[in-house]
């Protein structure tokens, strides 16, 4: 990874931050994509001072597609070569919430924002003839398929597991289509469950959720450094050259749930996602 450029979304906490530290130690230059510049600044200084790498910050709220577009444009204008994209931004909500466009928030952040960001940067990777994309996914995709006619939970009861599961399943389904599109290139895209680790995901939820997480759940979770190490492997391992469209549980190649690998549904979710973010493949 020495001298390569890694772009990490959700880079100021949890899996994203752990990955940034591991990759900086491996001498990769970094672009930290995050919502809060003030939170990112001391992280930037720490990584630069400790490892002597270049670290830049791009601010973007992935619930807002306009900000995702702006972040991608900034990166394309500032960097001629992009070696690795790690999409670790994520959200878990115990109640139904919507973004400014009326899209259910987990679906907007965990899937659509990442989908748009990836699609906007992909042409650069294809043109340069190399690159790896890693979608930080979750075993949580097993909790729910994608309901094409009710993405926004207008007709069904919302639960945190269903909203989260739908968003992660959508990411895995669209990854299949993107991987197929990249077949003739030297660019790969894979997904990774980062393990049962402590992160800040869900910190936007209410007191009871946060209390239970702090005093019960967190005691069973591991240090997110194991996630950073696994993602480092997926980003750098020579033996993974050309490996694409796979789901890894840390570094173990694993079969996703059946509803997350249906090729017909994959195409439908991909087409819907393209429509929702205002893109076309022409």
Between 193 and 219, residue with greater pLDDT: 193
Place of tokens 């979750």: 138
**For the chain, what is the total number of helices (H) and then of strands (E)?**
9, 8
Report, as an integer, the average pLDDT of 112-130.
Answer: 98
pLDDT at 158: 96
pLDDT at 94: 86
Query: What are the beta bridge partners of residue 5?
Result: 29
Which residue in 79, 158, 164, 270 is the catalytic one? 164
Spell out a b/e string for 24-43, using b for 16 or more CB atoms within 10 Å of the CB, else e: bebebbbbbbbbeeeebeeb
Share of the chain above pLDDT 70, in %: 90
Q: Give how far the C-alpha of residue 158 lies from the chain's centroid of Cα atoms, to the nearest Å.
A: 23
Report, as an integer, the average pLDDT of 135-144.
Answer: 94
| Contact (CB, 8 A) for 24 and 53 | yes
Q: Which residues contact 80 (CB under 8 A, 6 or more apart)?
A: 128
pLDDT at 201: 47
Examine the pLDDT at 203 and tell me if it is beyond 70. no
Tell me the CATH number of domain 5-273, given options 1.10.1040.10, 3.40.50.720, 3.90.1640.30, 3.40.50.300: 3.40.50.720
Taking the C-alpha atoms of residue 108 and residue 277, their distance in angstroms, rounded to an integer, is 10
Please, which pLDDT band fits residue 225 given cuts at 50, 70 and 90? confident
Largest CA distance in the chain: 53
Asked if 158 is an active-site residue, the reply is: no
Share of the chain above pLDDT 90, in %: 85
């Amino acid at each position: 990874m020495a001298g390569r450029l890694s772009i990490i979304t959700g880079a100021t906490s949890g899996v994203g931050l752990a990955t940034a530290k591991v990759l900086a130690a491996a001498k990769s230059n970094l672009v930290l994509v995050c919502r809060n510049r003030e939170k990112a600044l001391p992280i930037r200084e720490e990584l630069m001072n400790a490892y002597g790498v270049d670290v830049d910050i791009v601010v973007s709220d992935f619930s807002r597609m306009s900000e995702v577009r702006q972040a991608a444009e900034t990166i394309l204008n500032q960097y001629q070569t992009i070696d690795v994209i790690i999409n670790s931004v994520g959200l878990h909500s115990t109640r139904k919430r919507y973004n400014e466009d009326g899209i259910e928030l987990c679906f907007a952040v965990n899937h659509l924002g990442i989908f748009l960001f990836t699609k906007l940067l992909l042409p650069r990777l294809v043109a340069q003839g190399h690159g790896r994309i890693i979608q930080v996914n979750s075993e949580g995709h097993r909790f729910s398929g994608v309901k094409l006619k009710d993405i926004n939970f207008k007709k069904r009861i919302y639960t945190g597991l269903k909203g989260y599961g739908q968003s992660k399943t959508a990411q895995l389904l669209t990854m299949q289509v993107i991987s197929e599109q990249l077949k003739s290139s030297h660019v790969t895209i894979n997904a990774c469950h980062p393990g049962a680790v402590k992160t800040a995901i869900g910190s936007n939820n209410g007191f009871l959720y946060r209390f239970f997480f702090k005093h019960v759940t967190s005691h069973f979770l591991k240090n997110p450094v194991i996630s950073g190490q696994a993602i480092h492997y997926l980003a750098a391992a020579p033996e993974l050259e050309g490996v694409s469209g796979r789901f890894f549980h840390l570094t173990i190649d694993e079969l996703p749930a059946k509803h997350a690998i249906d090729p017909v549904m994959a195409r439908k979710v991909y087409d819907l996602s393209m429509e929702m973010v205002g893109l076309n493949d022409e």
